[in-house]
């Protein structure tokens, strides 16, 4: 995965999360909505940081972490439509975010 | 500076008008009007792309500032001018580097187009000289942007592709300026022109990342608007004026969403490169395959124009839309 592909993958995850945040099933659960929105903000900030981060995309650690992110986004695609599983969705986004934190930490 | 650009655009218009005749001659046909629109289309598309790319980059910071303000206001977070400024993703020097790179590539391609006509030598030399000046400016920009504080890490990566492109273009343009034979120039284009590919690729890649970011910030605005609206209607006595304000903003947001969807510059930059490659193919093609090369050039320019027109409209509209 390259840096641009990672930025695009995060963009796709944000799109899925945005669709969920507009779904009445989640809108009617204010506490869960706030939790998902906070995750959205964090992921959004990470995407901005990625844009200005120096990334060695041929680095092994980067490839391992982006591999995990790819797997998590695939898993998210399968669960995001079922908002009854919102806790699981939030957990998956949390995993993506934690991997991104490691990438950004290594870039700093 | 603005006057210099107008003069350059004027020079390009002249070069492209004469190129129409040249292309017809290269194809072995009697000159007709069929190629004139193709050449004009390329010129207009290259100018539009340079302008759109510059606007897109200028917007990049503004979009981040506004996105940060919206998010903080929505979450009742503190706002300070310094924190807003910290959201910038590109410096003025970085911005100049990238728009000058598009301009230099457009002027170099223009010089090749002028060369293809095989006469009007003064014009050929003049356009080659304009392109040489653009690459000199670009090389200086690359040094300034890399030496100063820069936000986008790949700014430092520009030095390689720019120096490669400037050296390659310099050799070709130098031969043209020194009135060397067509065969010598043709061989030099064949050998050196591929060195420009890295600069096209870098611009395309980077613009895709900036565009992806723009899409994410734009959607965030929608999430907050709908949440505000839905929160207000659950109040015991919803504020009708506020709801109307929100509904107007939601309508505008949905309109902007369509504009952002057509503001992806990567496809236009790829089409720009294809049109450049098709022009080089016309210059390099043996006589018996010139008609096919010309047909490819016509198709590539049409495709370039088809990509750049909605991009220009989208980028311009998103820069002014609120």
pLDDT tens, B186-209?
Answer: 889 989 988 888 888 888 888 888
User: In this predicted structure, what is the pLDDT of residue B153?
Assistant: 67
Q: Give the pLDDT confidence of B127-138 residue by residue, as tens digits.
A: 888 888 888 888
- Sorting pLDDT into bands at 50, 70 and 90, what band is B36? low
Query: What one-character DSSP code corresponds to residue B33?
Result: T
Alpha helices (H) along B27-75: 35-74
B14 has pLDDT over 70: no
Asked if B227's CB is within 8 angstroms of A27's CB, the reply is yes
- The answer to whether the CB of B260 falls within 8 A of the CB of B318 is yes
> Sign of torsion, CA A72 A76 A79 A83?
positive
Q: Give the pLDDT confidence of B137-162 residue by residue, as tens digits.
A: 888 888 877 777 677 766 767 777 88
Q: How many CB pairs under 8 A join A and B?
A: 66
Residues in contact with B152: Cβ distance below 8 Å, sequence separation at least 6, in sequence order: A51, A52, B89, B90, B94, B206
> For chain B, what's the residue count?
322
The domain locations on chain B are: 2-320
pLDDT (average), residues B215-241: 93
Asked if A52's CB is within 8 angstroms of B216's CB, the reply is no
User: In this predicted structure, what is the pLDDT of residue B322?
Assistant: 54
Alpha helices (H) along B75-147: 81-85, 92-115, 121-147
Question: What is the distance between the alpha carbons of residues B200 and B268, in angstroms, rounded to a whole number?
Answer: 11
Question: What is the distance between the alpha carbons of residues B24 and A4, in angstroms, rounded to a whole number?
Answer: 42
- Sorting pLDDT into bands at 50, 70 and 90, what band is A8? very high
pTM summary value: 0.79
> For chain A, what's the residue count?
108
Report ipTM (2 d.p.): 0.89
- Sorting pLDDT into bands at 50, 70 and 90, what band is B20? very low
> Any CB–CB contact under 8 A between A20 and chain B?
no
Q: Which helix (H) or strand (E) holds A32?
A: helix A30-51
Chosen from B62, B95, B213, B221 to mutate, greatest number of chain A CBs within 10 A: B213
User: In this predicted structure, what is the pLDDT of residue B154?
Assistant: 66
Query: What one-character DSSP code corresponds to residue B288?
Result: G
Chosen from B72, B211, B219, B269 to mutate, greatest number of chain A CBs within 10 A: B219
Partner-chain residue, chosen from A22, A33, A51, that has the shortest CB–CB distance to B213: A51
> Any CB–CB contact under 8 A between A104 and chain B?
no
Q: Which of B124, B100, B272 is nearest to B197 (CA)?
A: B272
B33 has pLDDT over 60: no
Asked if A53's CB is within 8 angstroms of B227's CB, the reply is no
Quote the tokens at residue B132: 């040489």
Query: What one-character DSSP code corresponds to residue A23?
Result: S
Chosen from A17, A25, A44, A57 to mutate, greatest number of chain B CBs within 10 A: A44
């Amino acid at each position: 995965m390259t840096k641009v592909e990672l930025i695009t993958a995060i963009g796709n995850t944000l799109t899925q999360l945005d669709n969920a945040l507009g779904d009445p099933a989640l809108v009617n659960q204010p506490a869960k909505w706030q939790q998902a929105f906070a995750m959205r903000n964090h992921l959004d900030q990470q995407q901005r940081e990625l844009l200005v981060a120096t990334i060695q995309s041929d680095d092994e650690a980067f490839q391992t972490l982006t591999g995990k992110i790819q797997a998590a986004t695939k898993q998210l695609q399968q669960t995001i439509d079922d908002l009854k599983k919102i806790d699981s969705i939030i957990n998956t986004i949390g995993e993506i975010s934690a991997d991104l934190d490691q990438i950004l930490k290594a870039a700093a | 500076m603005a006057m210099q650009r107008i003069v350059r655009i004027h020079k390009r218009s002249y070069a492209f008008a004469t190129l129409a005749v040249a292309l017809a001659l290269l194809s072995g046909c009697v000159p007709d009007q069929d190629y004139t629109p193709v050449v004009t289309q390329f010129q207009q598309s290259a100018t539009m792309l340079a302008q759109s790319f510059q606007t897109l980059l200028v917007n990049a910071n503004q979009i981040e500032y506004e996105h940060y303000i919206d998010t903080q206001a929505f979450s009742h977070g503190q706002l300070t001018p310094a924190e807003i400024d910290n959201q910038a993703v590109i410096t003025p020097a970085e911005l100049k580097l990238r728009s000058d790179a598009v301009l230099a590539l457009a002027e170099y391609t223009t010089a090749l187009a002028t060369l293809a006509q095989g006469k009007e030598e003064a014009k050929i030399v003049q356009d080659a000289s304009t392109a040489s000046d653009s690459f000199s400016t670009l090389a200086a920009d690359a040094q300034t942007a890399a030496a100063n504080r820069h936000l986008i890490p790949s700014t430092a990566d520009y030095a390689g592709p720019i120096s490669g492109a400037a050296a390659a273009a310099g050799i070709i343009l130098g031969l043209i300026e020194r009135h060397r034979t067509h065969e010598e120039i043709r061989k030099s284009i064949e050998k050196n022109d591929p060195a420009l590919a890295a600069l096209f690729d870098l611009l395309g890649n980077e613009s895709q990342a900036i565009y992806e970011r723009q899409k994410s910030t734009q959607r965030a605005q929608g999430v907050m608007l709908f949440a505000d609206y839905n929160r207000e209607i659950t109040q015991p006595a919803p504020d009708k004026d506020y709801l109307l304000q929100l509904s107007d903003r939601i309508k505008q947001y949905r309109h902007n969403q369509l504009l952002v969807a057509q503001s992806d510059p990567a496809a236009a930059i790829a089409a720009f490169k294809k049109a450049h490659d098709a022009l080089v193919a016309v210059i390099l093609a043996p006589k018996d395959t010139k008609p096919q090369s010309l047909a490819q050039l016509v198709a590539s320019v049409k495709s370039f124009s088809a990509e750049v027109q909605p991009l220009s409209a989208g980028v311009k509209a998103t820069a002014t839309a609120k």
